Amino acid sequence: MYLIDVTIQSNRIPTDKAEELLQAHRSWFTGQAEKGNFLLVGPYLDKGMSGLIVAYVSDREELEEILSQDAYYPDLATYEVREFKANIIAEDITDYKGK
């Protein structure tokens, strides 16, 4: 399992491409969630244009391939990846969606 901090480099985004890139980025999230690769995705509330992904894939190579499909990859966002092992998971975790 992986934790990925994503920070969009908004100062590098051409104004005329901002909305198009954001929509493609969101579609990428949705597609990876539908495939079961992204378990949780959401923005940070205390830091603009950034968020967290909790991903489950077979290995780091597969994760790198998935990250390379993001509209902001490689130069318009940073991706800090940490390998993680979930030892305890709340049974009611889905109750927290949107909070």
Q: How far apart are CA 28 and CA 71, in angstroms?
A: 8
- DSSP, collapsed to helix, strand or coil, labels residue 93 as helix
- 8 has pLDDT over 90: yes
**Length reported for the chain:** 99
Class of the domain covering 2-86: alpha beta
pLDDT score for 10: 93
Rounded to two decimals, what is the model's pTM? 0.91
For 2-49, give the DSSP string.
Answer: EEEEEEE-GGGS-GGGHHHHHHHHHHHHHHHHHTTSEEEEEE-SSSTT
DSSP class of residue 70?
S
**Span 22-36, average pLDDT:** 97
Question: How does the average pLDDT of the chain come out, rounded?
Answer: 96
Q: What's the token pair of residue 97?
A: 């969606």
